Structure 1
Amino acid sequence: MDERARIPVSLPRDGPTQSYWQDPPDAIADLRTTSELPNSADVVIIGSGITGAAVAWNLLQADDTQNKKRTIVMLEARQACSGATGRNGGHTKAASYRSFLDHASTLGTPAAVKIASLELANIQAVQAFAREHSIPCDLSPCDTIDVIYDEAQWLQAHEAVAAMRAAFPQGDPVAEYTFYSREETEKKFYCHDNYLNGKPETLYGGVVYFAGSLSAYKFGVGVLKLCLAQGLNLQTHTPALGLTKHQEGTWKVDTPRGTIITKQVVLATNGYTAALVPSKFQGVIVPLRGQITAHRPGAAMPPVLPTTYSFIYDKGYEYMVPRPAGSTFAGDIVMGGGLVRAPEDGLDEYGTTDDTSINETISNYLRETTPRYFGRDWGDDSPEGRVRKEWTGIMGYSPDGFPLVGEVPGEKGLWASVSFQGHGMVLCWMCARALVEMMEGRDDDEALGDWFPEVFRVSEERLGKRFVGRLHTAAAAAAAAAAPIGGIMGESEAETMVDSEETGRGVGGG
């Protein structure tokens, strides 16, 4: 893993695989608000996904409240919202119980409660914002089920839910989970034993809780349009090539179309962050390529499944988002994951920013997931073929499995909200809100203390940790991730403490 983390991170590549969600691209996909690049701005936001859009929105609202008007320029290397946000499954799913025990063990129960509370609050805030502003993003609040094919994880699920119920006030929705037996899961959710290469993976049962789905692309574009109406200057196909400190506490942002001088820079660059600030983030935010397929439903399946799914097994998982009624391709099943089915548990997917191609092994595996999980309830494939589309996208992972939010240490005026562990749809919105509070000088207990986890803040200590891969939910894995760069733990020893697929925070596929 050390070798993969050392691969120099590149900027977003030209000619990416076309996302299901960006077909066709929105009208603002190639927008440049002004034909010429401004030579100065108060704030430059790099990245136009959900984080960049949310930061812009919160800054603009702060301007309205304080009766001031900042110039905000957003740079996007490719089309608007074409990175991880425009390529993910739109799963607003927290799966907080899967990381709660680990967080409570390593951080303490109050911190674990705060993280789980933020995740649900993020889901609620995104769904409420889409409704309030009538963003046409196929919003579908609904339950989700984790279908579990591993006895140890089935038992741990019960332990974790019991711990959450004890930690939260009675009736708190953060701790609301319902268990379904094997027989109930088969009958109600159409799932059966999973047979892979002739070997059975036994269905143990399901865990049901509140989640939802939306088109993250349409949502992100919708937020951008609201910001554009309030004065945001969006410049697509304009990658930031480099950042340098300038005179009088300003920054110089170089692009192929010229240079912008600004007081503040916001990195909303997730897995690509180290390409711009390698001295701080190379080997700390490591890109990881994810893969997704969109399946037409089998003939025996309901026209539209009413819940979203995750399928959890010994070393990994897949997540599944049915397209809701009334949406384009309603009933389609979007299936992502499968990392550990590649050689060496998907090791070669770490450190790459190549979303122009797919991993054929993972592709072949994902193409077969639906008839395997649904068995006799799948039926014949659609006459048009099972798979409508497949594509890849780049996520960003940190050594300790948490986002990095705040002012970059030693770099005044350089801010970041990055590294969402494939879990951005339940982290990005609230992290952007917290970042703007910090930028506005309201970084205190009154503004953030009650709800923002301290462990999410970027710090020199966190930037010195060693990357060992996606973290398991066991406390031992967190200890492995905390090992300093160049520490005494050997790579093979560290990797035995890491589950290369399951973070405990990535089940949602957001």
Structure 2
Amino acid sequence: MEKRASIPPGLPRPNPTVSYWQDPPSQLANHRTTPDLPKTTDILVVGSGITGSSLAYNILNRPSSHSVLLLEARTACSGATGRNGGHTKCASYRDILDNVRDLGEEEAAKITRLQYNTMRAIHAFAREHGIQCDSLQGDTVDVFYDQGQVEKARNAVAKIKRILGEKDPAARYIFYSAEETEKKFLAQGSLGSLQYEAGSLSAYKFVTGVLDLALKKGLNLQTETPALKIARNEDCQKGWTVYTPRGEVKAKKLLLATNGYTAHLYPTLQGVIVPLRGHMTAQRPGSGIPKEGLGGTYSFIYDSNYEYMIPRPPGSKFAGDILIGGGAARAPNEGLFEWGETDDTTTDDFIRSYLEDCTKKYFGTNWGEDDPEGRLRKAWTGVMGFSADGFPLVGQVPGEEDLYVAASFQGNGMVLCFEIARALVAIMNEGDEKELNKWFPKAFRMTSERTKHKFQGKLHSKVSPMDLELKSQG
């Protein structure tokens, strides 16, 4: 892992795999607000995913009149956000025990509520602003295939209910037996399941919708303009210079919303934020899957990791299609070769084949016959970012005035980034710290101490002895 974490991420690759969501591309895909790149700007954001777009919108939605420039190396929303499964799912129970142990109950509760509130806020924002992104709110189910994970889930849910209170909506969890799981969710061969609130949407359509709103407020969006390097402004000027193939830009403040690629622009974060290439597939459902589609989203939890699955809602393009991602933990060496990998122009044959095969395995005879056109409609990859302690890195870069970062979302950006962007804008504008600390976790703040942790891989996926403690002890 140390070797994989030391691989420089480089720039986003040209000609990446085309995700299910990007076909057809948005009208903003190749947008350039002005023919030429501005020479100066008040605030420059690098990255046009959910973090960068939300940052731009939040800055421009404030009463101050800052000029905002957003640079994207490829087409708009061409990174991880435009390549994920479209899950707005918290799964807070999977990390609550570790968070309580490492941070205490108050901070653990903040993280749980932030995830839940972000999930709700994204769908509410889409409704409020009329963003057509196939937004669907409902329930999700985690189907278990490992007894240790079942026990961990029971202990974790008991902990959440005690800390948040039984009536808190973020603490609503319902367990089902194996028999109930097959009857209700059609999944066969499980040890049971856990149902709770979640949602789904096209993150690509959501983000391009946010970008459109920001453009109307004065955003200058420049796609296909990679940031090659950054440097502090010379001649004692405050701010930063960003170098691109189209020229250089001087910015008073620089915000890096570059997730797994962040170390390319700020090498000090090499090995602090580590990329992980993830795989996604879109599949035609079998004949046994209900024609109206499955009622909610899924995760399939086994001993070391999980797959996540999102059925396409009625009325959407290819309604009933099943999007399923993950699979790396089933590859040789538990997919170690995917860490440090930023080549999203291709897929790994083993992982792609595993994902294609696993849907029928999870549903068994309930899957039915494959579609005459074949099961696999599309496969693609995307690059995520992970940190050593398992938390996002948000705030001013230590020792670097006017340089800010929001990155490393551990594959859970859809229930983190939207509200994290709001927090970073408050931090950047020296907002009310007392008010911010009421809801924003200190564990997410960028500190020099956090950059010293040694990266060892994805956290919260395997079962630890603490996870199996007696509920009476929690």
- TM-score (structure 2 length as normaliser): 0.96
Q: Distance in 2 between matches of 1:473 and 1:6?
A: 23
Partner of 2:69: 73
Partner of 1:113: 109
In the TM superposition, residue 169 of structure 1 has moved relative to its aligned partner by: 2.6
Contact 2:312/2:321 (8 A) holds in 1: yes
Tell whether 2:284 aligns with 1:296.
yes
Partner of 2:13: 13
In the TM superposition, residue 156 of structure 1 has moved relative to its aligned partner by: 1.4
Query: What's the CA shift string for 1:220-277, capped at 9, x where partnerless?
Result: 0000000001100000000001110013212111000001011000000000000100
Partner of 1:152: 148
Tell whether 2:369 aligns with 1:380.
yes
Matches within 5 A, 1:234-253: 234-246=221-233, 247-253=236-242
In the TM superposition, residue 458 of structure 1 has moved relative to its aligned partner by: 0.6
1:419 counterpart (408, 411, 415): 408
Question: What letter corresponds to residue 437 of structure 2 in structure 1?
Answer: G
Change (3 A) 1:95 1:4: same
Query: What's the CA shift string for 1:466-499, capped at 9, x where partnerless?
Result: 1111113579799xxxxxxxxxxxxxxxxxxxxx
Change (3 A) 1:315 1:403: same
Partner of 2:381: 392
Tell whether 2:169 aligns with 1:173.
yes
Q: Distance in 1 between matches of 2:204 and 2:465?
A: 33
Partner of 2:469: none
Partner of 2:470: none
Contact 1:102/1:473 (8 A) holds in 2: no
Tell whether 2:258 aligns with 1:269.
yes
Q: Distance in 2 between matches of 1:165 and 1:403?
A: 25
Q: Distance in 2 between matches of 1:278 and 1:439?
A: 22
Partner of 1:258: 247
Tell whether 2:361 aligns with 1:338.
no
Q: Distance in 2 between matches of 1:477 and 1:283?
A: 28
Partner of 2:183: 187
Partner of 1:490: none
Q: Distance in 1 between matches of 2:160 and 2:191?
A: 21
Q: Distance in 2 between matches of 1:287 and 1:176?
A: 33
In the TM superposition, residue 99 of structure 1 has moved relative to its aligned partner by: 0.8
Q: 3-state SS of the aligned residue for 1:103?
A: helix
Q: 3-state SS of the aligned residue for 1:450?
A: helix
In the TM superposition, residue 443 of structure 1 has moved relative to its aligned partner by: 4.8
Tell whether 2:437 aligns with 1:449.
yes
Q: Distance in 1 between matches of 2:448 and 2:407?
A: 15
Contact 1:101/1:473 (8 A) holds in 2: no
Compare 244-253 and 397-406 and name the one that shifted more: 244-253
Partner of 1:461: 449
Q: Distance in 2 between matches of 1:124 and 1:301?
A: 28
Matches within 5 A, 1:27-42: 27-42=27-42
Q: Distance in 2 between matches of 1:475 and 1:79?
A: 40
Tell whether 2:338 aligns with 1:352.
no
Contact 1:102/1:474 (8 A) holds in 2: no
Q: Distance in 2 between matches of 1:178 and 1:441?
A: 42
Partner of 2:81: 85
Partner of 1:210: 197
Change (3 A) 1:42 1:99: same
2:270 counterpart (282, 287, 290): 282
Contact 2:305/2:461 (8 A) holds in 1: no
Compare 317-326 and 160-169 and name the one that shifted more: 160-169
Identity of aligned residues (%): 55
Partner of 1:499: none
Task: Flag structure 2 segments of 5+ consecutive residues without an equivalent.
Answer: 467-474
Q: Distance in 2 between matches of 1:405 and 1:158?
A: 31
Partner of 1:501: none
Question: What letter corresponds to residue 33 of structure 1 in structure 2?
Answer: T
Question: What letter corresponds to residue 471 of structure 1 in structure 2?
Answer: L
Q: 3-state SS of the aligned residue for 2:137?
A: coil
In the TM superposition, residue 140 of structure 1 has moved relative to its aligned partner by: 0.6
In the TM superposition, residue 316 of structure 1 has moved relative to its aligned partner by: 1.2
Query: What's the CA shift string for 1:187-214, capped at 9, x where partnerless?
Result: 1100112xxxxxxxxx110100000000
Alpha-carbon RMSD? 1.2
Q: 3-state SS of the aligned residue for 2:276?
A: strand
2:98 counterpart (81, 87, 102): 102
Question: What letter corresponds to residue 13 of structure 2 in structure 1?
Answer: R
Count of matched residue positions in the alignment of Structure 1 and Structure 2: 463
Change (3 A) 1:477 1:260: farther
Q: Distance in 1 between matches of 2:198 and 2:228?
A: 38
In the TM superposition, residue 159 of structure 1 has moved relative to its aligned partner by: 1.1
Q: Distance in 2 between matches of 1:344 and 1:97?
A: 27
2:216 counterpart (229, 232, 235): 229
